A and B are shown apart, each in its own frame.
Chain A
Amino acid sequence: MDEDDRHDLELHRLVSGRERSAFDELYRRYGRSAYGVALRVTSQDLIAQEVVQDAFLALWRAPEAFDPARGAFRSFFLSLVHHRAVDAVRREERLRRRTERAANLEPATGEDPAEDVVEDAYLRVRRKEVRAALATLPPAQQQVLEMAYFEGKTQMRIAEELGIPIGTVKTRTLAAMRKLREALREE
């Protein structure tokens, strides 16, 4: 565990003691990454905001849901945001399909994918590592991972859209996850 992970743990401990300043510090550290992934998955400003708000509020309500023995806070929290973003986009998609009206959904206008966003150095470094690891994947593996993770699609739907057997989707997904696991393994 490195210094930044330990700092996260300390902030989480303080949040568990209802320290608002620690909560704000976690928001400062992870708000941009959380909003970035929520926006990428949902493509909707308002929904992404609600996803991020829900995730942070869930952390405030029940900080004990994070168990430090099971990994880094960063992974836990960003997984939580991603999970909620996928839930939200699937819910919206079901609603949109049924009502055939998407007019009330504001498109993402405020996306500011500024790579010069001021963020903690360790997140910047980790971000580069993740992108570098993704870049090493064969395009076919990148594609299924992108469709699953950032588009919230099921393996069944990915197979249908790509016109390939679902078994191939599974194989590519597993191969991609194993390669990323090796590339991103932390001591």
Chain B
Amino acid sequence: MTEDHERIDELLAGYVLLSLSGEEATEADRILVDHVPTCATCRATLSQFQAVSGDLALAAPPVHPPETLLPRLHHAMDEVPLAGRTPRRGALIAVAASAVALVAMGGLSLVLGNRLSNAETRTGTALEILSAMRAPGASPVNVSPQDQTPPESGMVEVSAPDFRRLYIAAEFCPEPAPGHAYQLWLGSNGEWTPVGEMFWPDDGVLLLEVEGVDVSRYDEIWITEEAVAQPPTEPSTDGRSWFGSLT
């Protein structure tokens, strides 16, 4: 495929600055998956623009964080379950399923959910879900418990054509088995893309927002319980799971 590199450079510049929206964001995603990985020039451009974007942060005046921040961080680190974990690239794979795109997206940004979310943030997410349900073209999808999964743990997926965002909500999400975590997958024509590992909230009330996802590309959603010691390459059918059709 012949690509217009001036146009691609424009998209990459907007992409690293997080300033694309609508069709252009979709086009950038396509370029990142279809073209950039195979084009040395574009890979270099993306990498260089990423470096510029990182350094632009230094233009802001440095500010001392509050003294309480590091102790809070230490406390939060203690809460993060790390025992028995091995590094999991698979848990961080971006929807674009491209190593280049993963870096471009900031890598860590697609860890799903936030253990540190305060009540205001959760309320905000809940309000966004309600708003998304009313958006034109939005149709909430039941993501239903399968097999041995508790029947009262049904989830709802909400997305809309123009959102590039996906929400998942559940009143009761059971705690994953020891050494396991829930993994979100999106499927298209039987091919499954790992979106990320979902944090399990202590109270089981799931309010999850995933940014930058073009749900219209997919026809199925699957949440599976995966052993954290092994990066999942395909959905497991051994543990709990939830499944929904997006079409």
**A residues 1-34 with Cβ under 8 Å of B?**
16, 18, 20, 23-24, 27, 31-34
Interface residues on B, range: 35 or more
Interface contact A53-B80, CB-CB below 8 Å? no
Instruction: Tell me the bound Cα distance from A112 to B61 in angstroms.
Output: 8
- A-side interface mostly: helix
**A residues 62-87 with Cβ under 8 Å of B?**
62-67, 70-72, 74-84, 86-87
Q: How many chain A residues have a CB neighbour from B under 8 Å? A: 93
Return A117 CB to nearest CB of chain B, in Å: 5
Interface contact B54-A16, CB-CB below 8 Å? no
Closest to A49 in B: B69
Instruction: Tell me the bound Cα distance from A148 to B56 in angstroms.
Output: 11
Return B76 CB to nearest CB of chain A, in Å: 5
Interface contact B61-A87, CB-CB below 8 Å? no
- B-side interface mostly: helix
Interface contact A71-B60, CB-CB below 8 Å? no
Instruction: Tell me the bound Cα distance from A27 to B76 in angstroms.
Output: 14
Which of A31, A53, A65, A114 sits near B107, CB closer than 8 Å?
A: A65
Return B49 CB to nearest CB of chain A, in Å: 6
Return B64 CB to nearest CB of chain A, in Å: 6
Which of A78, A86, A115, A123 sits near B18, CB closer than 8 Å?
A: A86
Return B9 CB to nearest CB of chain A, in Å: 6
Return B204 CB to nearest CB of chain A, in Å: 21
Interface contact B116-A54, CB-CB below 8 Å? yes
CB contacts (< 8 Å) of A62 on chain B: these are 87-88, 91-92, 108, 111
Interface contact B19-A75, CB-CB below 8 Å? no
Which of B9, B50, B69 sits near A75, CB closer than 8 Å?
A: B50
